[in-house]
Amino acid sequence: MYKFKIITIGKIKEQWLKDAIDEYEKRLKNRAKIKWILLKDEKKLIDYTEKEKKFICLDQQGQSYTSKNFSKFIQKNNISFLIGNEKGIPLIIKKKAFLTISLSNLTFTHQMARLILIEQIYRSLEIIKNSNYHK
């Protein structure tokens, strides 16, 4: 079973966004364990990354992947993704990251990034499974 940790600040306020994320979590439940680490503020995020050995930052200036390349990348187990808040990710954290990746050249809210990331995790596992989801 694949294991992913998603580290971020705050809770999602919009119900429709929660529902969409829940849907992908349901689809993933037999193939992947998603652990959400919801921190209170930026300081808690900085403190948390002091203990986290290896994590990947999500940032617009990060490396771009196609969905197929991302699926190859996530076959490594126990990946931790870090999503910042509305101000992004502090430079002190970016410097410690194993890697920084971009979900798109477009700008999304930090809360939308959660949905896009979990959809891409689902898509990647469907690519690995060779299903019709990614066509």
4-29: average pLDDT: 96
CB atoms within 10 A of CB 17: 15
Alpha helices in the chain, H assignment, sequence order: 15-28, 42-51, 67-73, 91-96, 110-129
Q: CA 50 → CA 35, 79, 81, 82, 99, distances in Å? A: 18, 16, 15, 13, 16
User: Taking the domain 2-129, which CATH number applies?
Assistant: 3.40.1280.10
For residue range 56-87, what is the model confidence (pLDDT) as tens digits? Answer: 999 999 999 999 999 998 987 689 999 998 88
Is residue 25 very low, low, confident or very high in pLDDT (cuts 50, 70, 90)?
very high
Domain extents for the chain? Answer: 2-129
